Amino acid sequence: MDAKLQQLKDTFEMLPDWEERYRFIIDLGRKLEPLPETAYRDENKVRGCMSQVWLIADEAGDGEQIRFLGDSDAHIVRGLIAVLLLIYSDKSPREIVDTDIQAIFEELALEQHITANRRNGLHSMVETIRQLGAQRLDASA
């Protein structure tokens, strides 16, 4: 487990209940780097989310890694985007595709504490991130 993910897990374990964890997740969302205005286009919208969600992929560092940026019109969803960016950003396309997100969600106990609609949206966001990673992987093959 990488350092950012371990820190997230440790913070979750420190917080006494899910109400506090929700506040923490929302706070993470407030700290998201803003998307450029040009990113708010239909092709960057994530399908399958009740809220509006935009995700884009950019090169990070040496060009071998992908940095993701995202935004939503809902506070908790912005926070969930922030959690996903902690998990997936600054990784290689191979690492993105190979990430066992179910195991991570289980460790964080995330899925059982969000509504079914949010869970569906979360999986749509994960699928979009994985597709963006797979596209970069195919392009470099």
Q: Which amino acid is at 47?
A: R
Q: Is 120 helix (H, G, I), strand (E, B) or coil?
A: helix
Rounded to the nearest 5 percent, the helix, strand and coil shares of the chain are 60, 15, 25
49 given a catalytic annotation: yes
Identify the CA nearest to 87 among candidates 62, 110, 64: 110
Residue that the structure tokens 């809220």 belong to: 51
As beta bridge partners, residue 45 has 54
Both tokens of 9, joined, read 């897990």
Catalytic residue among 46, 49, 82, 132: 49
Element housing 69 (H / E): strand 65-72
> How far is the C-alpha of 132 from the C-alpha of 56, rounded, in Å?
8
- Residues identified as active-site: 49
